[in-house]
Structure 1
Amino acid sequence: MTFPKIIDVRAYVLRGGGADYHDQSSGHWIDDNIATPMSKYPNYRESRRSFGINALGTLVVEVEAANGTIGFAVTTGGEPAAYIVEKHLSRFIKGQNPADIEIMWDQMYFASQYYGRKGLVINAISGVDLALWDLLGRLRQEPVHAMIGGAVRDELSFYATGSRPDLAKEMGFIGGKMPLRYAPIEGNAGMQKAVDDIGEMRSRVGDDFWLMLDCWMALDLDYATRLAIAAHEHKLKWIEEALSPDDYWGYQALKKAVPSGMLVTTGEHEATRWGFRMLLEMECCDIIQPDVGWCGGLTELLKISSLADAHGKLVIPHGSSVYSYHFVATRHNSPFAEFLMMAPNSDKVVPMFSPQLIGEPVPKNGRLSISELDKPGFGVELDRTLNLHRPYKD
């Protein structure tokens, strides 16, 4: 097929929820006394916003074809990422065939490698990549999942991440992942409180419901090992992102040390096939959890998934709404998906990337029919009534 060339790339910044899901107001469970690597500092213990977890805000990337068709995507990165998109990455996109996504990704990555490779730069590349897939789907009038191999199942099933796994069970989710609220700085007493929290939640959800613990990089190897052993009696399905994402050796040791039957998961803050190759070849975990908006976009996630498949590992993407749904629909080694409970009290199902996406599908009774993804591109629209700010122009 012949497609109109790309004529423009635009990067906007938004504040308040959406892709930067930590950018919430006070009282939201996602910012309520959760253990973090900053918990050792009293000034930054109670709130993740206090140390700037929401400092960047949402990045919105648009790519426009010569016939006026616009593809877009949202991720995190805010104004610094917008600068990178407009001032550097756009040169590799303008004038290109929208179908040539592979070469555009390759040029963006290797042109920025000397100052990128992970973090903010890869977030920016991810945003551009997802916008390109959205544009191509709109031009072809096909959903993204149809362009990457087609669905292998009729519906997606979800586990819920939030403060109330017991309510998630009532809503039909297959499992619930709760945040760790007590950090190593709080000593053995804090660990016992964490184990008691898990035990209390297990008593509410029963023995057959999946119960997981998200540690958000807050622990060291010794503490994580002791916590996993202490929590084993409560049938914890997995312990997630217990260590710094750069501590591959610690993850390798943790996987060997946890009780039999407990899984070790990580990868939310890992990026590109090279980072995940370390996790996989070093046997660091049982499940990898790339975020498609942070790991390099869909183009890179497909490579990561193939690598994981060859190692016999599952790929359960971190959150990311429709951007991961289209991927999960097409992969045999992604049998279920994560849903972030963005209601402040985790007591109802609301769109994950609200208010930025219009038409964002949400699971019903913990399930989502693939037919709800059968719209061109990623199948959602950008709410242009929001305060979109374009700080830079190329």
Structure 2
Amino acid sequence: MSTPTIKHVRAFTLTGRGADYHDQETGHWIDDHISTPLGRYPEYRQSRQSFGINVLGTLVVEIEATDGTVGFSVTTGGEIGAFIVEKHLARFLEGAKVTDIEKIWDQMFHATLFYGRKGIVLNTISGIDLALWDLLGKIRQEPVHQLLGGAVRDELQFYATGSRPDLAKDMGFIGGKMPLQYGPNEGEEGLRKNLEHLAEMREKVGTDFWLMFDCWMSLDLNYATRLAKGAAEFGLKWIEEALAPDDYWGYAALRKNVPNGMLVTTGEHEATRWGFRMLLEMGCCDIIQPDVGWCGGITELIKISALADAHNAMVVPHGSSVYSYHFVITRTNSPFAEFLNMSPKADEIVPMFSPQLIGEPVPINGRMRASVLDKPGFGVELNTALKLNRPYAR
């Protein structure tokens, strides 16, 4: 049987929740006074949407093969990403074999070097790459994790990210990661409130449950060091993305400064093997957290993970639902996964990319059996009831 080729590539946009998970209605925990790099400006402290965190929207990439099979993915990128797909990158896909994933990635990356390397361009390349893996899995009638070499464990275990670690414990998760609420520009009172919140949660969850702070690129080295040292008595497991993504030197210093046993994690906003090479070779962190929808897709995550393994670092991808679950379950240096709790009050389990994906699995009692991921491709379908917009149809 001859290998199908790629017939057509299409890029759509969606707004409202889903892959752009910051695009939430008023009152959601993810937009409620979280420390950010814009915290230096009082008018942008209360809501992240106030400075535009939700402006991009979701990018949907569909790739159709000559046998009629369609693979797809969702990521953050919106209309900018759709333009890049349709006006630039489609030329490297249409006519290629569906198995030419490595070649296609290499051509897309090098063709965009003059305006890409990271950010929205890598989000877009990631979306295309995920759609290619989904397409290949569907053509071969295999789940992506089988294409990657197969599961190394029978189930995934999860920690939960959200505003209520105490509820996450009741739901069966191994830990709870909280958004840090107050940053350096809110002074000593803000630092005290951060530590008081941690102390309150520790009292609620007991001594054995993991607690972590997600600092979302908002701190400086001095504040992050003081926060980590103050948090030690409350058993903070790790301090995440404390500094700006490009401050590799600051991360290396922070890792030396934190109390013994506390982990430094980062990488959510890093991209490609070269970016993660900097983090790993400079000793910036104990765990890297690439987002498979932003770092370059599965094809690049394979390389990033191998590099981390050689540095004895764990790889625990940021969020990204099924796109990371299929990867994590195939890697021994990815011992657990993140579940981003997107219920408005973090008090119930809902699919992360709802309402955009149909059939998206969620943890049960903080676990997910490998067999749940045994459908072809990534095992989800696009919700066609939503209004898709194709701004640059060809």
Give the superposition deviation at 1:28.
Answer: 0.2
Gaps of 5+ in 2: none
- Per the normalisation by structure 2, the TM-score is 0.99
Work out the CA distance in 2 between the residues paired with 1:207 and 1:42: 36
Work out the CA distance in 1 between the residues paired with 2:123 and 2:105: 12
Query: Superposition pairs for residues 1-394 of structure 1, below 5 Å?
Result: 2-394=2-394
1:284-337 Cα distance to aligned partner (Å, 9 max, x none): 000000000000000000000000000000000000000000000100000000
Q: In the alignment, is the contact (CA less than 8 A) between 1:3 and 1:139 conserved in 2?
A: no
Give the superposition deviation at 1:113.
Answer: 0.6
1:320-355 Cα distance to aligned partner (Å, 9 max, x none): 000000000100000000000000000011000000
Work out the CA distance in 2 between the residues paired with 1:3 and 1:53: 41
Work out the CA distance in 2 between the residues paired with 1:266 and 1:2: 43
Counterpart of 2:186 in 1: which secondary structure?
Answer: helix
- Per the normalisation by structure 1, the TM-score is 0.99
Work out the CA distance in 2 between the residues paired with 1:218 and 1:331: 31
Counterpart of 1:307 in 2: which secondary structure?
Answer: helix
Give the superposition deviation at 1:3.
Answer: 2.0
Give the superposition deviation at 1:42.
Answer: 1.5
Counterpart of 2:345 in 1: which secondary structure?
Answer: coil
Work out the CA distance in 2 between the residues paired with 1:11 and 1:329: 29
Q: In the alignment, is the contact (CA less than 8 A) between 1:267 and 1:288 conserved in 2?
A: yes
| Regions of 4+ moved over 3 Å | none
Q: In the alignment, is the contact (CA less than 8 A) between 1:179 and 1:214 conserved in 2?
A: yes
Work out the CA distance in 1 between the residues paired with 2:365 and 2:312: 29
AA aligned to 1:99 is T
Give the superposition deviation at 1:183.
Answer: 1.2
AA aligned to 2:77 is G
Work out the CA distance in 2 between the residues paired with 1:36 and 1:131: 32
Work out the CA distance in 2 between the residues paired with 1:353 and 1:305: 24
1:166-223 Cα distance to aligned partner (Å, 9 max, x none): 0000000000000100111110111011001000000000000000000000100010
Give the superposition deviation at 1:10.
Answer: 0.4
1:28-56 Cα distance to aligned partner (Å, 9 max, x none): 00000100000111121100000000000
AA aligned to 1:220 is D
AA aligned to 2:96 is Q
Q: In the alignment, is the contact (CA less than 8 A) between 1:6 and 1:95 conserved in 2?
A: yes
